[in-house]
Amino acid sequence: MKKTILISVALSTLLLHATENSDLEKRVDSLEKVLNKQKQEKLKKALGGGNSFNQKSFIPDISLILSGSAVARNIDNNQYEGYGIDGFVERTDEIPFNKNRGFNLNYAEFGMHSVVGPYFDADAIFHLSPNEFEIEEAYITSKKLPVNLQLKAGSFKSGFGRINAIHQHAQHFTEQPLVYEAMLGVEGIKDAGVSLNWVAPTDTYLMVGSEALQGANELSFGKSSSNNLYVGYLKTGFDVGESTSMLAGVSVASGKTQNNRDSRLYGGELTLKHTIDSYSSLAWQSEYLYRDREDVKQAGYYTQLIYDKDSNWEFGLRYDALNKNSINQPDDLKKYAGIVQYKPFEFTKLRLQVDHDQSKSFGGIRKDENRVMLEFLVETGAHGAHAF
Amino acid sequence: MKKTLFTTLLLTSSIFATVNVATTYNYLGEVTKAIGGDLVKVNVLGNPKLDPHFITPKPSLIGKLRREDLLIINGGQLEIGWLPPLLKSANNNKINSGGSGFLDVSGAVNMMDKPANVSRAYGDVHPDGNPHFAVSIENITPVAELISMKLAQIDPDNSSQYAMNFSVFKKHIEELQSKLEPINKGCQGKKLVQYHELFNYAISDLGAQKVGDLEPLPGITPSSKHTLELIKLIKNEKITTILQDVYHEKRTAQFIADKTGARVKIVPHDVGATDSSNTLDAFYTEIATQICQ
């Protein structure tokens, strides 16, 4: 084909410029030689065998996240292990992060994301702690359901509330807010089940989601002989002017306790983020949780302010409180935390966190905990971007 | 009555006929408007005054993406840090990567600076090459042609209109190019430094030469050591111009300017980045003027 075109071009030019005849012929000849050589090389390559069964292009996106810390604390390790929160947690049985005075490797996390086919994506996150291999999340997400419904199935972090689904490395403070820890434990609602959500086609962001889960969370639910936990949430967001965005939501989780009695958890959330420039912003985020578990009514909240000064520095303050407790239990459980974070590169965080915690009891005795901690967090590999 | 009904029907059908298009950046919005005219409704996601790598993934963008028939992105991994979570939340199969309503325009351009070795040890590198090709006027016509082809593909009834609009656009850009030629002459052999690898395509196409960047590596904030080296380089090479974008800090450039006598020129990286670059014509005129004069 190419040859024909070349020759016809050459021929038509020939009629016009007879004098350039021999020159053109030479050029066509040399081009032909090049094309021939390319063809020969292609055949030679084919003869040598190809990459017929090479699957390299189908390797999932793999990421590795590491978190470690150096901790100074006024409570020694023996006392710290198995601390309680009066009225909420009798005795913690696992402390995943920053457990020891001195040095801690919190975890190495492997994340994988892959396209299964035209209909589903698959995600899996494995958490490796010094004594544990844990499937943090493993689920499939639908892509082609009618009216843009999205289905998720597997084991995943629930979309309840603002912070529950966000991984530790993407949070601004090293631990979950006190109210989450007290009502749902350090891991939040992380359970096997299905979720279905839908986004409205409107300028104002409006998302409705519902989940049916096994109900494995022991602090608030925990009857897992059959699935019994149902979660629903409604989230909305819009812009206030060019540079301020709001996200608000309400959530409900309804299930059964080990005693087969009703337990309900209600959540309300509000986030306001003001963008100052590309690297600088001010974000205020608050959440209130109310629990009615076996007719015991408890509540708590947190409110935090994060200031991103530039691409390197971030400052944050958080105030945590459990302000409603069961009868004869303290309702003045509070925690204060502050962070200064330095980010030399997009995927490297060095975070100094200072806490004053008045909520914990150690061996049954309430005692204030003071802590200063330096944490490092790195994200490497093919790690997806984070949402709002 | 019949007339009203007819008019209503006509109105609804014309509403239906509009192609809803979202573009990640403003320049893509301007090109799409030029090619699509009244047949398209364009929503631009990224604010042109902000760093195109780090657009805030605002919840309000999710609702917009949910409705679109076509999403046009710059590509070359420029959107990788903010667009994927929005697309996932919007869950609109039409505009997901691989869907019929997804267009990555980087395929229309010959990308430069493709790294031989890809590692984050070299900073925040783009494995497919430098994605900031929109700053060169040479690249806008192929991008517009690709957009006109895509619009014709998803709205075949109006394909001749898109083709016609493209030929008008092409001619207009050619005219603009010849108008800019006298300005471009100032760039011949001119040596420059810039903040980020943002203006390479314009510098190269205008015949100038980039000698250094204020960032030691892409995505790494200027260090004092690197800045001092740069000052020495600027003095040695007798460089008179420092190109600064609108979104990075301007102290470093000003510091270097004070030490060397070079001038800091604010150059738009997208249509609307500066107050005087609100159209494609103004954008390319300002780039040529700021770099070459």
The confidence band for B9, taking pLDDT boundaries of 50, 70 and 90, is very low
- In this predicted structure, what is the pLDDT of residue B180? 96
Percent of chain B with pLDDT over 70: 94
Domains and CATH numbers, chain B: 2-176 (3.40.50.1980), 181-292 (3.40.50.1980)
Q: Which residues of A touch B64 (CB under 8 A)?
A: 203
B91 to chain A: nearest residue by CA? A148
Does the pLDDT of residue B14 top 50, yes or no?
no
Q: Could B249 and A310 be called an inter-chain contact, meaning their C-beta atoms sit closer than 8 Å?
A: yes
DSSP assignment of A97-133 equals SS-SSEEEEEEEEEEEEEE-SSSEEEEEEEEEETTEE
Q: Could B56 and A281 be called an inter-chain contact, meaning their C-beta atoms sit closer than 8 Å?
A: yes
pTM of the model: 0.88
The confidence band for A19, taking pLDDT boundaries of 50, 70 and 90, is low
- In this predicted structure, what is the pLDDT of residue B99? 86
Mean pLDDT of B234-249: 94
Amino acid at A19: T
Give the closest-approach CA distance of A156 to chain B in angstroms. 16
Give the class (CATH, top level) of A68-110+143-381: mainly beta
Task: Match 């998803």 to its residue by tokens.
Answer: B154
List alpha helices for chain A, DSSP H.
2-16, 21-47, 77-80, 178-184
Does the pLDDT of residue B160 top 80, yes or no?
yes
A150 CB-side CA count, 13 A:
21
Give the closest-approach CA distance of B60 to chain A in angstroms. 5
Mean pLDDT of B64-83: 94
Q: Could A275 and B56 be called an inter-chain contact, meaning their C-beta atoms sit closer than 8 Å?
A: yes
Q: Could A235 and B83 be called an inter-chain contact, meaning their C-beta atoms sit closer than 8 Å?
A: no
- In this predicted structure, what is the pLDDT of residue A54? 83
ipTM: 0.85
Q: Could A205 and B63 be called an inter-chain contact, meaning their C-beta atoms sit closer than 8 Å?
A: yes
Q: Could B66 and A144 be called an inter-chain contact, meaning their C-beta atoms sit closer than 8 Å?
A: no
Give the closest-approach CA distance of A244 to chain B in angstroms. 9
Tokens of A340: 């200064």
Q: How confident is the model over A146-186, as pLDDT tens digits?
A: 888 999 999 999 999 999 999 999 999 999 999 999 999 98
Judge contact between A251 and A232, C-beta under 8 A.
Answer: yes
The residue that leads in pLDDT, A46 or A16, is A46
Does the pLDDT of residue A16 top 60, yes or no?
no
Give the closest-approach CA distance of B245 to chain A in angstroms. 12
Percent of chain A with pLDDT over 90: 74
Q: Which residues of B touch A281 (CB under 8 A)?
A: 56
- In this predicted structure, what is the pLDDT of residue A9? 58
Q: Could A237 and B59 be called an inter-chain contact, meaning their C-beta atoms sit closer than 8 Å?
A: yes
Does the pLDDT of residue B123 top 70, yes or no?
yes
Q: Could A207 and B62 be called an inter-chain contact, meaning their C-beta atoms sit closer than 8 Å?
A: yes
- In this predicted structure, what is the pLDDT of residue A129? 87
A313 to chain B: nearest residue by CA? B221
Least trusted range by pLDDT, from A9-23, B30-44, B132-146: A9-23
Does the pLDDT of residue B13 top 50, yes or no?
no
Q: How confident is the model over A305-358, as pLDDT tens digits?
A: 999 999 999 999 999 999 999 989 999 999 999 999 999 988 999 999 999 999
SS3 B14: helix
Q: Could B63 and A245 be called an inter-chain contact, meaning their C-beta atoms sit closer than 8 Å?
A: no
Give the C-alpha distances (Å, rounded to integers) separating A311 from A271, A278, A315, B192, B248. 21, 8, 12, 25, 10
Mutation site for A-interface testing, chosen from B41, B51, B58 by largest number of A Cβ within 10 Å: B58
SS3 A301: strand
SS3 A240: strand
Task: Match 């020129």 to its residue by tokens.
Answer: B265
* Identity of the residue in B47, B90, B219 whose CB atom sits nearest the CB atom of A199: B90
Q: Could B90 and A204 be called an inter-chain contact, meaning their C-beta atoms sit closer than 8 Å?
A: no
Q: Is B122 on the interface with A (CB under 8 A)?
A: no
* Identity of the residue in A245, A278, A344 whose CB atom sits nearest the CB atom of B50: A278
Q: Could B60 and A346 be called an inter-chain contact, meaning their C-beta atoms sit closer than 8 Å?
A: no
Q: How confident is the model over A70-117, as pLDDT tens digits?
A: 999 999 999 999 899 999 999 888 888 999 999 999 999 999 999 998
Interface of B with A in 223-252 (CB under 8 A): 247-249
| Average predicted confidence (pLDDT) for chain A | 91
B122 to chain A: nearest residue by CA? A345
Give the closest-approach CA distance of B122 to chain A in angstroms. 11
List alpha helices for chain B, DSSP H.
2-17, 26-36, 59-67, 83-90, 140-154, 159-184, 200-205, 224-237, 251-260, 280-292
Q: What is the DSSP letter of B108?
A: G
Does the pLDDT of residue A302 top 70, yes or no?
yes
Does the pLDDT of residue A4 top 70, yes or no?
no
Does the pLDDT of residue B11 top 50, yes or no?
no
- In this predicted structure, what is the pLDDT of residue A18? 54
Mean pLDDT of B39-46: 96
Does the pLDDT of residue A196 top 80, yes or no?
yes
Q: Could A144 and B83 be called an inter-chain contact, meaning their C-beta atoms sit closer than 8 Å?
A: no
Q: Is B58 on the interface with A (CB under 8 A)?
A: yes
The confidence band for A51, taking pLDDT boundaries of 50, 70 and 90, is confident
Chain A contact residues (CB < 8 Å to B):
141, 143-144, 148-150, 199-207, 235-239, 242, 245, 247, 273, 275, 277-279, 281, 310-312, 344-347, 380, 384-388
The confidence band for B12, taking pLDDT boundaries of 50, 70 and 90, is very low
- In this predicted structure, what is the pLDDT of residue A222? 86
* A-B contacts (CB, under 8 Å): 98
- In this predicted structure, what is the pLDDT of residue A132? 87
Give the closest-approach CA distance of A59 to chain B in angstroms. 17
Does the pLDDT of residue B167 top 80, yes or no?
yes
Q: How confident is the model over A199-255, as pLDDT tens digits?
A: 998 889 999 999 999 999 989 998 767 889 999 999 999 999 889 999 999 999 999
Q: Which helix (H) or strand (E) holds B293?
A: none
Give the closest-approach CA distance of A227 to chain B in angstroms. 27
The residue that leads in pLDDT, A265 or A18, is A265
Domain boundaries defined on chain A: 2-47, 68-110+143-381
- In this predicted structure, what is the pLDDT of residue B10? 46
Q: Is B54 on the interface with A (CB under 8 A)?
A: yes
Q: Which residues of B touch A119 (CB under 8 A)?
A: none
Give the closest-approach CA distance of B237 to chain A in angstroms. 30
- In this predicted structure, what is the pLDDT of residue A96? 82
Mean pLDDT of A19-48: 86
Specify burial of residue A59 (Cβ count, 10 A radius: 0-12, 13-18, 19+): exposed
- Torsion (CA) B225, B229, B231, B237 in degrees, nearest 10: -170
- In this predicted structure, what is the pLDDT of residue A118? 87
Q: Could B219 and A346 be called an inter-chain contact, meaning their C-beta atoms sit closer than 8 Å?
A: yes
